[in-house]
Chain A
Amino acid sequence: EPEVTQTPSHQVTQMGQEVILRCVPISNHLYFYWYRQILGQKVEFLVSFYNNEISEKSEIFDDQFSVERPDGSNFTLKIRSTKLEDSAMYFCASRGPGEQIEAFFGQGTRLTVV
Chain B
Amino acid sequence: AQSVTQPDIHITVSEGASLELRCNYSYGATPYLFWYVQSPGQGLQLLLKYFSGDTLVQGIKGFEAEFKRSQSSFNLRKPSVHWSDAAEYFCAVGALRGNEKLTFGTGTRLTIIP
Which A residues fall within an 8 A CB radius of B? 31, 33, 35, 41-45, 48-50, 55-56, 91, 93, 95, 101-108
Contact = CB atoms under 8 A, between A and B. Distances in A.
A45 B101 contact: yes
Contacts of A35: 102, 104
A106 B101 contact: no
Given A107-B42, A108-B43, A101 B32 contact: yes
B65 to A, nearest CB: 14
Bin the interface of chain B by size.
20 to 34
A106 B38 CA distance: 11
Given A91-B44, A105-B43, A105-B44, A31 B99 contact: yes
Contacts of B45: 105
A56 B99 contact: yes
Main secondary structure of the interface of B (DSSP, over half): loop
22 contacts: A31-B99, A33-B102, A42-B105, A42-B106, A43-B44, A43-B90, A48-B101, A50-B98, A55-B98, A56-B100, A56-B101, A101-B96, A102-B34, A102-B46, A102-B49, A103-B96, A105-B36, A105-B44, A105-B46, A106-B43, A107-B43, A108-B43
A14 B45 CA distance: 31
A50 B43 contact: no
Contact of B102 (A41, A103, A107): A103
